Amino acid sequence: MVAEDRYRQRNEGSRLLRSTACGGRCRRQPGRPAKRLTSAVAPEADVSDGHGQPLAPPRAIAEGGLIANVYVRQKKRMSFRKVNIIIWVLAVVLFLLVLHHNFLSLSSLLKNDVSDSGIVGLQPIDLIANVHQHPVNERQEEIPVVIAASEDRLGGTIAAINSIHQNTRSNVIFYIVTFNSTADHLRSWLNSGSLKSIRYKIVNFDTKLLEGKVKADPDQGESMKPLTFARFYLPILVPSAKKAIYMDDDVIVQGDILALYNTPLKPGHAAAFSEDCDSASTKVIIRGAGNQYNYIGYLDYKKERIRKLSMKASTCSFNPGVFVANLTEWKRQNVTNQLEKWMKLNVEEGLYSRTLAGSITTPPLLIVFYQQHSTIDPMWNVRHLGSSAGKRYSPQFVKAAKLLHWNGHFKPWGRAASYADVWEKWYIPDPTGKFSLIRRHMDTSNIK
C-alpha cells in the first residue's frame, strides 16, 4: 500500500516536471510511453552549472538574447540618427556660408551701385587717405566737401582746397569732380607740397548725364561747361553721407569749414544757401544782365509754365556757388530728378531769362527750392569779387569774411581780379608747369 502511494507520487511528480519543462504544451501521444525525466532535469530555480552557481533558465536565456538583439538594433538606429544629424548640421552650415557669401556680394553691389533716380556716369577714380600734418580728431564726423576741377581752372580748385585744409582741424574729405583727362594732372598737383596730407576722392563726370538737358549757348560761356552741373548730383557723388558742402572753384575759405557744415537746416529743407538780398551783397546790378538779386533776373515770366508756378518775381534769389545739403532730405524729395525735369523743359520751351543774371545752374535750383531752403551766414559767401576789376569791399571786410567768392568774369588767377593777392596766398604753383597765373607786372609788385 505504501509502495503504491510512493509510485503514484513519483509519477505525479514526473508529469509536473515535464509539464513545467515544456511550458504546459507537452502531450503524451497514445501508444508511446512517456519519457521519463531524469534527475538532471529540475525546476528552473534548481538548475546549476555544476559548481554550485545557478544557471539562467532557458526562458531567461531566450529573453536575454531577444533583449541583446533589440539593444543592437537600437544602437544601430541611434548611430544612423547621429550620422543623419551630422549630415543635416553640415548642410545647414554650408547653406549659411553660401547665404553669407551672397549677402556680402549683394552688399558690395549696393555700395557700388548709384541710387537716386538710377543715374550712372559718376565713377570714383581713386581715394587717398594720408596722415594730416596737424592733429585731426578722427572721432569727429566726416565733412564731405564737393568741388569741381576743370583743366583750365585747376589752380582755383587747388587754392580752394588748400585754404580749407589749412584753416581747420576737422575730419574733411574732398570729393573732386573732374574728367579722366584731367585726373593725372590733378593727382600730381595734390601729391605735392602741403596737400600731401589731405584726404580726397577723384570722381569722373560723364557728360552723357546731360544729354537732352542742356543746349549749347555761346553767350553763356563758362556757365555752360558740364562740370558746372556736378552740384545737381550730390547724393551720387557722396552716396554714404547724410550731409555735404558744395562750393565752386573760385573761392577761398578763411574760417573753419566746420562752422559752415554745422549750419542748421529747418525740417523738410534739403539745402541752405546764401540769399542775394543779404547785407554783404545787396542788389548788385550787372551791366546788361538785369537784376542779380531776384527771380525775375533768372526766369522768363512771360512763359506760361513759369507763371503757373505762382512764384513772385520779386522773390530774393540765392547763390548756388556755396551751399550745405541735407542729402537724406535731398534723396527723399528726389531733388536731382526735379532739377533734371526743369533742365529738359528749358531745352524744349526756353524758360530761363534771356538776360540771365548768373550761372545757368541757378534757375532750376530757384524753382525747386522756392521758399523751401534754409540760409547760411552771409559771411560764408562774400561774393561778387569777380563782377568787376575794382575793389567793392574794404580790406577790413574782406579780412573778416569766412569765405570769399570771385563769381563773375574776373577770376583771381586772371589779370584784373580784385584782391587777387588775398587769393594768391593760398595758391600752390603747379609742379608740372601746365597752369600758370596771368599777372600784370604792376600787380605782381603789389602782392605782399
State residue 58's pLDDT score: 55
State residue 53's pLDDT score: 52
Which carries the bigger pLDDT value, residue 353 or residue 127? 353
Mean pLDDT of the chain: 79
3-state SS record for the chain: CHHHHHHHHHHHHHHHHHHHHCCCCCCCCCCCCCCCCCCCCCCHHHCECCCCCECCCHHHHHHHHHHHHHHHHHHHHHHHHHHHHHHHHHHHHHHHHHHHHHHHHHHHHHHHCCCCCCCCCEEEEEEEECCCCCCCCCCCCCEEEEEECCHHHHHHHHHHHHHHHHCCCCCEEEEEEECHHHHHHHHHHHCCHHHHHCEEEEEEECHHHHCCCCCCCCCCHHHHCHHHHHHHHHHHHCCCCCEEEEECCCEEECCCHHHHHCCCCCCCCCEEEEECCCCCCCCCEECCCEECCEHHHCECCCCHHHHCCCCCCCCECEEEEEEEEEHHHHHHCCHHHHHHHHHHHHHHHCCECCCCCCCCCHHHHHHHCCCCCEECCHHHCECCCCCCCCCCCCHHHHHHCCEEECCCCCCCCCCCCCCHHHHHCCCCCCCCCCCCCCCCHHHHHHCC
State residue 38's pLDDT score: 42
Which carries the bigger pLDDT value, residue 106 or residue 356? 356
State residue 95's pLDDT score: 79
Least-confidence region, from 62-66, 89-93, 96-100, 155-159: 62-66
Is pLDDT at 330 greater than 70 in this prediction? Answer: yes
CA angle 286, 289, 293 (to 5 degrees): 65
Q: What separation, in Å, do the N-terminal and C-terminal C-alpha atoms of the chain show?
A: 159
Whether 209 and 119 have beta carbons less than 8 Å apart is answered as yes
Q: Which of 101-110, 316-325, 413-422 has the highest mean pLDDT?
A: 316-325
Is pLDDT at 356 greater than 80 in this prediction? Answer: no
Residue 128 — pLDDT band, cuts 50, 70, 90?
Answer: very low
pLDDT tens by residue, 20-72:
445 444 444 444 454 444 444 444 444 444 555 555 555 555 555 555 565 55
Which carries the bigger pLDDT value, residue 372 or residue 441? 372
Which carries the bigger pLDDT value, residue 278 or residue 3? 278
For residue 404, give the C-alpha cell: 570769399
Q: Using a pLDDT cut of 90, give the percent of the chain over it.
A: 54
State residue 84's pLDDT score: 78
Look up the pTM and report it. 0.69
Least-confidence region, from 74-78, 88-92, 182-186, 414-418: 74-78
Closest CA relative to residue 295, chosen from 312, 275, 278: 312
Residue 340 one-letter amino acid: E
Average pLDDT of the segment spanning 171-196: 94
Average pLDDT of the segment spanning 296-304: 94
Whether 376 and 263 have beta carbons less than 8 Å apart is answered as yes
pLDDT tens by residue, 223-240:
568 999 999 999 999 999
Q: Using a pLDDT cut of 70, give the percent of the chain over it.
A: 65
State residue 389's pLDDT score: 73
Is pLDDT at 201 greater than 50 in this prediction? Answer: yes
